[in-house]
Amino acid sequence: MLPESAASLETSYTVKMMAIVKQWDVASGCHTDNTDKYLILVLSKSGMDAVVLYLCYRKLNTSFLSMCSLSIILADLVMVFFIASLLFLGPARYLGSLCFFLANASATYGALPLPIMCLGLLDYCLEVTSLGNQSALCKLLRNLVLTLLVWILAVINPFGSVNSDLIELDYNKETTLIVCEVEESTLLTYMISGLSTVVICVMLPFWSMIPKWMEKAERLSDASEERVNPSKMLFTSTKVNVTQTGEENYLEETIQPCPPLWASLMLCFGTFWMPYLAVSVACLICGFGVPSYITVNMLWLECTNSFLMGLVFWIKSNEQGPYSQLPEGVCMWHVYWHLSKGTGQQQLPIAVFNPSKGKRKTVLDV
């Protein structure tokens, strides 16, 4: 495992930590170069991001956060290429370059979360207004420009203020370390801790009802998928006569009391993202420091995307109901909206083909 020393100096914005670039045993004269370990680390992050991108590829759209997802993938590939290229140089030449790259990369990634969250929230707020009726090309160009601007500012900002000098430390009488100062983003720490606390505090009063609510949500999701299945799609706006069996009657039953909308949406978010939040909090509790060029990844971005989308969905749900102009995400917000309203299987809307909209499918209550 790559050693990241927790001996750090905390500021109001970041936590400084020492990344061990090289170490040697004074007594035996044995040298250990950790450059290959950093390459494995960034390769692992790139692989994880690629898996998340593959799992969410159907959810990609022209939103700002989708553009940020692709940009993080590209930035990770640049890191992999740069560190791999350093291995072809002699150690005397690349240690300084590696330290410079790691220090600036951690500062750059650490500067991304705040503008990404602010612009992502603004993008979703605009999406549910009249400004959201712009063409897909206009949205794509707008968000592409904003993404490039965020990265330019994040890259320019740390230059001149980042300490990228190699530091020699006597770890003990037998070991000497060559270290480099990198940063951990406190904003991500506060965000993950805050989200985990909010999810737990919101769900704790309803603890006994959560299994029943999740079971009901799963049934509603299955019923909704059956109704929008292309092989079963109806091209008419008449009601469907369904012969209810005992099982279907059971699906119609509503669970009382139904969760309030805010609790239902938080349950939707927590059900999907609590494993990621739990692992992140466990790392924080154990004092396992992780530099920002690792923590700012696709998992964090998709988690942030879900939270912001759920927040806007909740705010606009009274006006637009369960279906809005927000892009499709990994969380089933509409299902949990119906859960909070006590909707039964037969009350779910049916997907109906609207000839006036060409090939677009419109969800209507019929």
For residue range 203-220, list pLDDT tens digits in order: 998 888 888 888 888 888
Q: What is the pLDDT of residue 230?
A: 46
Query: In terms of residue numbers, what domain contains 320?
Result: 4-364
C-alpha separations of 322 from 316, 336, 340, 341 in Å: 9, 9, 11, 10
Annotate 175-201 with b (16+ C-beta within 10 A) or e (fewer). ebbbbbbbbbbbbbbebbeebbeebee
Confidence of residue 276 (pLDDT cuts 50, 70, 90): very high
Q: At residue 362, does pLDDT exceed 60?
A: no
pLDDT tens column, 342-358: 776 555 554 433 333 34
The Cα 364–Cα 323 span in angstroms is: 10
Give the pLDDT mean for 8-26.
Answer: 64
Q: What is the pLDDT of residue 93?
A: 62
Give the count of domains, the chain: 1
56: left (phi over 0), alpha (psi -120 to 50) or beta: alpha
C-alpha separations of 46 from 52, 80, 154, 164, 349 in Å: 10, 8, 20, 24, 40
Instruction: Point out which residues pair with 17 in neighbouring strands.
Output: 182
User: Helix or strand or coil: residue 112?
Assistant: coil
* DSSP for residue 342: T
Is pTM, for the whole model, over 0.95? no
The Cα 68–Cα 60 span in angstroms is: 11
Give 295: exposed, middle or buried? Use CB within 10 Å, 0-12, 13-18, 19+. buried
* DSSP for residue 231: G
CB-CB contact of 248 with 219 (8 Å): no
Residue 66 φ then ψ, to 5°: -70, -40
Question: Which one is predicted more confidently, 11 or 291?
Answer: 291
**How many Cα neighbours within 13 Å face the side chain of 265?**
18
pLDDT tens column, 281-323: 998 888 888 899 999 999 999 999 999 989 988 888 877 666 6
Q: At residue 40, does pLDDT exceed 70?
A: yes
CB-CB contact of 99 with 178 (8 Å): no
Residues 6+ apart with CB under 8 A from 183: 14, 15, 16, 17, 103, 106, 107, 110, 291, 292
Q: What is the pLDDT of residue 357?
A: 39
**Measured over all CA atoms, what is the biggest interatomic distance in the chain, rounded to whole angstroms?**
85
Positive/negative CA dihedral, 230, 231, 237, 239? negative
Give 251: exposed, middle or buried? Use CB within 10 Å, 0-12, 13-18, 19+. middle
Q: At residue 116, does pLDDT exceed 60?
A: yes
Per-residue DSSP letters for 147-210?
A: HHHHHHHHHHTTTTTS----EEEE-SSSEEEEEEEEEEEHHHHHHHHHHHHHHHHHHGGGGGGH
How many CB atoms are located within 10 Å of the residue 97 CB?
Answer: 15
Confidence of residue 126 (pLDDT cuts 50, 70, 90): confident
Instruction: Point out which residues pair with 15 in neighbouring strands.
Output: 10, 184
Q: What is the pLDDT of residue 268?
A: 92
Q: What is the pLDDT of residue 161?
A: 77
